[in-house]
Amino acid sequence: MKDLHSHIAPVVSLIPAVITATASGAAVDLQGFNAAELLIMTGAIASAGDFTVKMQHSDTTTSGDFADCAAKDVLGSLPATLAADSVYRQGYRGGKRYVRHVITKNGGTSIIAGIMVLKGHAADTPVA
């Protein structure tokens, strides 16, 4: 049976919005799940905006405890600069309990973006 619905839990890390400065997504708790996939959706970019995204992880929700994920902890890569009207994905395979994502403004005015994390490989299914 083709049933992905009962095996994933989507969580919004950053509500889609116009971003004009560096912004951190909310911490996503991976407890009870053995996999996570970052999905970033972009819309319009104003004034040749230059924005990047990185994944961070931590054992706590304290902002200062988050550190950039090492290459061995992620699957796939993100572009050096986000393009307008695009969707990107990156997997997490590290051992920390929490992940979050940071969109960094390197130049320009703004970007419309949102971030979702799909938690998967749940310890208990179906996922409610």
48 domain residue, yes or no: yes
Which of 27, 47, 49, 45 is closest to 36 using CA atoms?
A: 27
pLDDT beneath 50, residues of the chain: none
Rounded to two decimals, what is the model's pTM?
A: 0.92
Look at residue 37 in the predicted model and tell me its pLDDT: 97
Look at residue 1 in the predicted model and tell me its pLDDT: 64
Burial class (CB in 10 A: 0-12, 13-18, 19+), 34: exposed
58 domain residue, yes or no: yes
Look at residue 61 in the predicted model and tell me its pLDDT: 97
Which of 26, 73, 76, 82 is closest to 53 using CA atoms?
A: 82
Q: Tell me, what DSSP letter sits at residue 45?
A: E
Look at residue 83 in the predicted model and tell me its pLDDT: 97
Phi/psi of residue 73, nearest 5 degrees? -95, -5
Look at residue 127 in the predicted model and tell me its pLDDT: 87
Domain carrying residue 74: 5-122
Look at residue 126 in the predicted model and tell me its pLDDT: 85
Number of domains in the chain: 1
Give dist(CA 56, CA 21) in Å, integer: 18
> What tens digit of pLDDT does each residue of 15-29 get?
999 999 999 999 999
Look at residue 6 in the predicted model and tell me its pLDDT: 87
128 domain residue, yes or no: no
Give dist(CA 13, CA 39) in Å, integer: 10
